[in-house]
Homo-oligomer: A and B are copies of this chain.
Amino acid sequence: MSITIKEVAKVAKVSTATVSMVINEKADHITQKTKDKVFDAVEKLDYKPNYAARSLVTAQSYMIGLLLPDITNPFFAELAKGLEICLNEAGYITFLCNSRNHSKQESRYIEAFIARSVDGMIICGLTKGNEEKLALLRKRNIPYLNLDSRFIKNKYSIEINDEEGGKMAARHLLELNHEIFAFIGSKSKFSNIWNRYKGFSEVVIEASKKVLLFETSLTKEGGKQIADELFKSEATAVFCGNDLIAVGVYEQARKRGIKIPQQLSIIGFDDISFADILVPKLTTIRQPLEDVSSMAVKQLLKMIKDSEYEFISEVLPVELIVRQSTLKLK
């Protein structure tokens, strides 16, 4: 059985109310001598406060809920790691849930975080249909942030400049003399992917060139599935909505004997840690992951500590990383 507050009180020779106040940091009026008695008893008995009980008293759970759409996408795994490091430094525990891009799972996990009294939430890649969950969070005064927002542009987002990333990709490929371009992604469901497409196609069309659009899921499997269709098209250069799609296209290209970049130039998006182990190394648009993590945690903690704090929406810059998967056409 667990050690209870009563046993701590008995050993410390104080009342249970005193123990409770000391443990819950509401003991400004209690002498240091008494506090020490309590701390000694806590140590002696190896007493661990029951947070389920404690959070009823202090209204602070020291928990942050982190919701990811796909933990097996290295981009999100790296983002989660960065966020956890920052939150840990600030004294918070990060609990992570993986929605597997299922709207229903996402909704269930948001409710689970609310029901378990998290102090704040970071929601990555919120899907269409769960907008009302954000309203619920506001209603319950739970600070939250959106990262990698796929559907809703809202006040509490830290964004990266997806549109500019698309433009960078297009400009790079135009400089390499390409004429017919392709984009692979899932524009209808995800606003950030749509913005990458928007920036890309805008620059291509301005240069009086053509863009073909291929819709698939944002995974390696998605890239593999659409690749044959892409290979049949006239496109000589393709911009993938994320790096994982590019990985799938690589795999299929190898199977079909299609040479990258000689027959097809490829650009990805994200710069996952596996982008530079691909052969050839993947040219991609890098997201500033560390900046996103530290900015997100800084803003969320401000919101938690000060309910009057006005969140400042951020758009962080992206960067073109030229490696070996894009080639100049003669």
Contact residues of A with B, CB < 8 Å?
A: 1-2, 48-56, 61, 63, 71-72, 74, 77-78, 80-81, 84-85, 88, 93-98, 100, 105, 108-109, 111-112, 114-117, 140-141, 220, 247, 250-251, 254, 273-274, 276-279
Contacts and interface: CB of A to CB of B under 8 A. Distances in A.
Contacts of A112: 51, 63, 93
Given A93-B112, A109-B93, A116-B51, A71 B63 contact: no
A96 B93 contact: no
A112 to B, nearest CB: 5
Given A77-B71, A97-B93, A97-B95, A115 B277 contact: no
Contact of A71 (B51, B80, B247, B274): B80
Contact of A276 (B55, B85, B115, B251): B251
A21 B71 CA distance: 37
A72 B272 CA distance: 10
A53 B51 contact: no
A44 to B, nearest CB: 16
A63 B2 CA distance: 18
A116 B116 contact: yes
A141 B1 CA distance: 8
Given A56-B52, A247-B277, A72 B81 contact: yes
Instruction: Please provide the 3 A-B residue pairs with the shortest distance between their CB atoms, ordered closest to farther.
Output: A279-B279, A95-B95, A96-B96
A277 B282 CA distance: 13
A149 B54 CA distance: 33
Contacts of A50: 115, 117
Contact of A273 (B52, B220, B279): B220
Given A109-B93, A277-B278, A117 B77 contact: no
A299 B48 CA distance: 27
A48 B78 contact: no
Interface centre among A49, A85, A117 (most CB of B within 10 A): A117
Interface centre among A78, A85, A95 (most CB of B within 10 A): A95
Contacts of A115: 48-51, 54
B78 A72 contact: yes
Given A100-B85, A277-B251, A111 B48 contact: yes
Nearest to A141: B1
A280 to B, nearest CB: 9
Contacts of A78: 72
Nearest to A276: B251
B220 A52 contact: no
